[in-house]
Amino acid sequence: MKNAGLKYVCKPIELEITNGQTRFTAAYQGRREVVMTQGNGDGNYFADEETLNRLEGEGQVVFRYVTNPNGSARDIAGIVNERGNVLGMMPHPDRAFEAELGSADGAVLFQSVMASA
């Protein structure tokens, strides 16, 4: 789906970590908020209420937008599959890899994955 604003947006975005116990978030060590980079013109998360309720109930929602920039259902910015080995997210952790880029919080996600390997 198109973003709520119908245009490409590239900027730092604050995310809430809603599940810190995944292989993607464990290295954040209890941090509740991170900054990554939003860089998209198409894309917001949507699903029917039954699916959203299941994802919420099973702890599969991993990241939420603090301020929802694109109309994603329930402010969802990232989810994991049932096994917890696949993460899908809209913000770009690869664009938040060094403080000089505005945030190094994305690097921690990759460090977390490497530590779990």
In a domain, 1, yes or no: no
Full-model pTM? 0.91
User: Which CATH number goes with the domain that contains 92?
Assistant: 3.40.50.880
Domain count, the chain: 1
Please, what sign has the CA dihedral across residues 14, 93, 112, 84?
A: positive
pLDDT, one tens digit per residue, over 39-58 is: 877 778 899 999 999 999 99
The parent domain of residue 102 ranges over 9-116
The residue count for the chain = 117
- Residue 71 is predicted with a pLDDT of 87
> Does residue 2 have a pLDDT over 80?
no
In a domain, 22, yes or no: yes
- Dist CA 90 CA 105 (whole Å): 15
Task: Identify the band that residue 9 occupies on the pLDDT scale cut at 50, 70 and 90.
Answer: confident
In a domain, 92, yes or no: yes
- Residue 6 is predicted with a pLDDT of 66
In a domain, 108, yes or no: yes
* 3-class secondary structure, 50: helix
Report the side by side order of strands in the sheet with 76-80.
33-40, 9-17, 61-65, 76-80, 87-89
Please, what sign has the CA dihedral across residues 44, 68, 8, 88?
A: negative
> Does residue 83 have a pLDDT over 70?
yes
* Cβ contacts of 13 within 8 Å, gap of 6 or more: 35, 36, 37, 38, 65, 66, 67, 69, 77, 91
